[in-house]
Amino acid sequence: MTNLTIIGAGTMATAIATVGVSGGTSVQVLSRNVDQGVQLAANLGELVTPGQVGDALTGDVVVLALPYTALGQVVETYAAQLGGKVLVDITNPIDFATFDGLVVPQGSSAAEQVAVWAPDAHVLKAFNTTFAATLESGRIGGLPTTVLVAGDDPTAKQTLIDVVEAGGLVGIDAGVLSRAQQLEQLGFLQITLASAQRVPWTGGFAVVR
Amino acid sequence: MTNLTIIGAGTMATAIATVGVSGGTSVQVLSRNVDQGVQLAANLGELVTPGQVGDALTGDVVVLALPYTALGQVVETYAAQLGGKVLVDITNPIDFATFDGLVVPQGSSAAEQVAVWAPDAHVLKAFNTTFAATLESGRIGGLPTTVLVAGDDPTAKQTLIDVVEAGGLVGIDAGVLSRAQQLEQLGFLQITLASAQRVPWTGGFAVVR
């Protein structure tokens, strides 16, 4: 039985916790301010255990639900505990100064950077191509919400896909970790479309199978 | 009234001609082998006029429905006629040797390269994120097929969006021409997913508004 740790307690953390709880997965929510996790537990029920960043990780799948710029420090904080864990990067590392590209080096991705910082973890890219609203509802445009999962370890990918599918969504193996480059460009494009009001934050890209 | 010229007579050319004809748009189809265009006209009706690559362009919107590697030569062939035209690049410039990325330089795109070759045309990126089947049917997963259009000239974008919407599809302004970088990564990702049989060639990414 997979247990989830989510670091962060914002909109995406809440949405991912909702998917986990919908599938019967225990979710540890670690935030700087423990009150946020307490509130999340109050909303989502007893499968959610709140804690503070710095507490021991109880999940075998750890989701970094923080902005890209915060990842380096939190990975360093947990360096000794990440070996063998499935470590999920969900970020869209947008250059908000220009809103015209990403801050990660060309030919790389946030997820690949996380893999450099946490070489003993099984790093995955996921959840960056689905807005929070479509994760929470599990639906987009009459279709099930699809989580695209990239990573180099097939077992790690399947573990996360199982959590997602238990929660009523669809999970698709999107290939090796370097496909995160494409997923991050897709996430960026989708955010530009929503920011320009071409699509709503309850819509965006759906995957049709 | 907009007229379309499509250079190429393959699967994507056929699909785009179908969209044009559905909306009552006249379509000149120029191919190396004129028989392909004749066949297309036989299938799609009298709005299609076949011709050979080298014939004068009759369309104010010119769609390059050829592989990326063929674009340089055809743009050179038509250099004297492209000034002021709307010139549409539909390619996914995949590195087929590795199937792991694109052949265009990082930080650029096929569409931006076409704009360098044809500086007097209004270059657009479009049709590279929709498989031929979803263009022809106009539907994907119960939703209308959406054509994402990037370019620096708003009037040129609206001209193409009008052609697409007359054909029963949805057209969305996806931003400036450099957003082609994101559209091409999305197109590449979608092709990897279909090649790996994660999505069918009749599916892929739909846009939910």
Per residue in A97-142, pLDDT tens?
999 999 999 999 999 999 999 999 999 999 999 999 999 999 999 9
B103 touches chain A (CB under 8 A): no
Check: CB of residue B175 under 8 Å from CB of residue A196.
yes
State the pLDDT at residue B1.
Answer: 85
> Is B200 inside any structural domain?
no
- In chain B, residues with a C-beta closer than 8 Å to the C-beta of A205 are 205-208
Instruction: Decide if B193 touches A, using CB distance below 8 A.
Output: yes
Q: Which of A101, A182, A206 sits opposite B189 (nearest CB)?
A: A182
Q: Is A169 exposed, middle or buried (0-12, 13-18, 19+ CB in 10 A)?
A: buried
Phi, psi of A176 (to 5 degrees): -70, 165
CA-based R_g, chain B, Å: 16
The secondary structure of residue B178, as a DSSP letter, is G
Stretch A177-193: mean pLDDT, rounded?
98
CATH of the domain at B54: 3.40.50.720
Using CA coordinates, name the residue in chain B closest to A146.
B205
Residue A119 near residue A189 (C-beta atoms within 8 A): no
Owning domain of residue A40: 4-195
Domain count, chain A: 1
- The HSE-up count of residue A131 (CA atoms within 13 Å, CB side) is 24
Number of C-beta neighbours around residue B84 at 10 A = 11
Site of tokens 């392909």: B36
Place of tokens 């969305």: B172
Domain for residue B163, yes or no?
yes
Residue A39 included in any domain: yes
The conformation of residue A94, written as its DSSP 8-state character, comes to: B
Instruction: Check residue B46 and give its pLDDT.
Output: 96
Distance CA A132, CA B23 (A): 37
CB pairs under 8 A between A and B: 106
Instruction: Nearest by CB to B140, from A107, A203, A208: name it.
Output: A208
Task: Kindly state whether residue A150 falls inside one of the protein's structural domains.
Answer: yes
Q: Which residues pair with A62 in a beta bridge?
A: A5, A87
Residues A205, B175: Cα–Cα separation, whole Å: 16
In a domain? residue B117: yes
pLDDT of residue B59: 98
Average pLDDT over residues B145-163: 98
Please answer yes or no on whether A207 and B209 come within 8 Å at the CB atom. Answer: no
B199 in A contact zone (CB under 8 Å): yes
* For B141, nearest residue in chain A (alpha carbons): A208
Pairing, β B86-89 against β B122-125: parallel
For chain B, count helices (H), then strands (E): 7, 11
Dist. CA B146–CA A153, nearest whole Å: 34
CB A60 within 8 A of CB A38: no
Contact A207, A146 (CB under 8 A): yes
Inter-chain CB proximity B198 and A172 less than 8 Å: yes
DSSP A155: H
What is the distance in angstroms between the Cα of A96 and the nearest Cα belonging to chain B? 15
Overall average pLDDT of the B150-158 stretch = 98
Within-domain flag for A206: no
The pLDDT value given to residue A2: 95
Q: Is A82 helix (H, G, I), strand (E, B) or coil?
A: coil
Smallest CA–CA distance, residue A20 to chain B, in Å, is 23
Which residues of chain A make contact with B183, given a CB cutoff of 8 A? Answer: 189
For residue range B64-107, what is the model confidence (pLDDT) as tens digits? 999 999 999 999 999 999 999 999 999 999 999 999 999 999 99
Among B185, B188, B190, B199, most A C-beta atoms within 10 A, so best to mutate, is B185
The answer to whether B114 and B150 have CB atoms below 8 angstroms apart is no
| Rounded-to-integer distance, Cα B161 and Cα B169, Å | 9
Residues 6+ away with beta carbon under 8 Å from A169:
A19, A135, A138, A144, A145, A146, A147
pLDDT of residue A51: 98
CA distance A142 to chain B (A): 8
User: Distance (Å, rounded) from C-alpha A147 to C-alpha A158?
Assistant: 12
What pLDDT score was predicted for residue B109?
98
Of the candidates A106, A178, A205, the beta carbon closest to that of B207 is on A205
pLDDT in tens, B99-118: 999 999 999 999 999 999 99
Which of B107, B189, B206 comes nearest A208 by C-beta? Answer: B206
Q: What is the pLDDT of residue A1?
A: 85
Average pLDDT, chain B: 98
Average pLDDT over residues B178-184: 98
Which residues does chain A have within 8 Å of residue B98's beta carbon, measured at their own beta carbons?
none
Distance CA A163, CA A59 (A): 12
Alpha helices in chain B (DSSP H): 11-22, 34-44, 68-77, 110-117, 132-137, 154-166, 180-195
Nearest beta carbon to residue A193 from set B106, B174, B178: B174
Q: Which two tokens stand for residue B9?
A: 């007579």
Contacts of B182 in chain A (CB under 8 A): 185-186, 188-189, 192
Cβ proximity of A122 and A86 under 8 Å: yes
* Cα–Cα dist A183/B190, whole Å: 10
**Contact residues, chain A, for B188 at CB < 8 Å:** 182
DSSP state of B57: P
Nearest to A209 among B107, B178, B200 (CB): B200
Residues of chain B with C-beta less than 8 angstroms from the C-beta of A203: 207-209
ipTM of the complex model? 0.97
B192 close contact with A: CB closer than 8 A: yes
* Partner residue opposite B208 with nearest CB, options A140, A174, A179: A140
Of A86, A100, A91, the C-alpha closest to A184 is: A91
Q: Which residue of B has its CA nearest to A180?
A: B189
Report CA-CA distances (Å) from A151 to A155, A181, B50, B91: 10, 11, 47, 27
pTM of the model: 0.98
A162 falls within a domain: yes
CA distance linking residue A119 with residue A88, whole number of Å: 13
